[in-house]
Copies of this chain bind each other. A is one copy, B any other.
Amino acid sequence: MNKCDQCIVRQLSSLKALNKEEIIKLANSKTTYKVKKGEALFEEGEVTNGVFCVKDGVGKLSKLSANGKDQIVKLVKSGELLGQRSMISNEPANLTAKAIADMEVCFIPKTEIINFFNSNNQFSLNMMQSVCEDLKESENEKIALVQKTVKQRLAETLLHLHSEFGEDADKTLKVQLTREELAGIIGTATESCIRLLSDFNKLGLIELVGKKIMLKDVRSLKKLADN
């Protein structure tokens, strides 16, 4: 009996294709550690040489621009893998990965993953599909970024955060992003983001509970987002 067997990442990610033997190998080669909110798992340009399993917490993949703004490309939650692309491409990381909420992660060295690729076809296929999924999402977001207004993108992002991460007991969004981070996802200035949140609040679409956000009128938000 070992821990990886019951791990959420094993259940949700490409790793689900691994058999018992392989899971044992995995358990022996992995290293587990914690990453505090705000800390980086890896930075752009770094050679990671492996894959990270997110057991708990939330992370963001982002890139710093010349003007100092941090564009967030993707949020990662527990059960997902991180750093697959760089590993497969044999390249240093293209993005920086930071914890948005305290994280617990396992690191699997590249050599081990390559072994799995060679011994387990379904695992390869899963990994491929996962990258394909990321690609599709990235392309669709790229389109949304150009074809929708900031207002629409904000509505869309709020809905996405809601369905992806759920809500707390007080009905507010579980992922707690700063306004700056939220602006970094939708690709706008922090002030514009704040202003629109304020507008949404006045319109009764959302409610601002301190720094937290509660979705109040999902239907109208949806209508706003995709029209």
Contact = CB atoms under 8 A, between A and B. Distances in A.
Nearest to A65: B147
A142 B73 contact: yes
A2 interface: no
Interface in A77-132: 84-85, 88-91, 94-95, 117-118, 121, 124-125, 127-129, 131-132
B89 A133 contact: yes
By secondary structure, the A interface counts as helix
Contacts of A69: 147
Contact of A128 (B63, B121, B128, B187): B128
Q: How large is the interface on A (under 10, 10 to 19, 20 to 34, 35 or more residues)?
A: 35 or more
Contact of A118 (B95, B121, B135, B143): B121
Nearest to A147: B65
A23 to B, nearest CB: 21
A76 to B, nearest CB: 14
Interface of A: 63, 65-67, 69, 71, 73, 84-85, 88-91, 94-95, 117-118, 121, 124-125, 127-129, 131-136, 138-143, 145-147, 187-188, 226-227
A145 B147 contact: no
A187 B71 CA distance: 18
Contacts of A226: 66
A27 to B, nearest CB: 24
Contact of A89 (B84, B132, B139, B227): B132
Given A117-B121, A125-B117, A135 B142 contact: no
A142 B140 contact: no
Given A88-B132, A95-B139, A128-B128, 12 more contacts: A65-B143, A65-B147, A66-B226, A88-B125, A89-B132, A90-B129, A128-B131, A131-B131, A138-B138, A138-B139, A141-B142, A147-B187
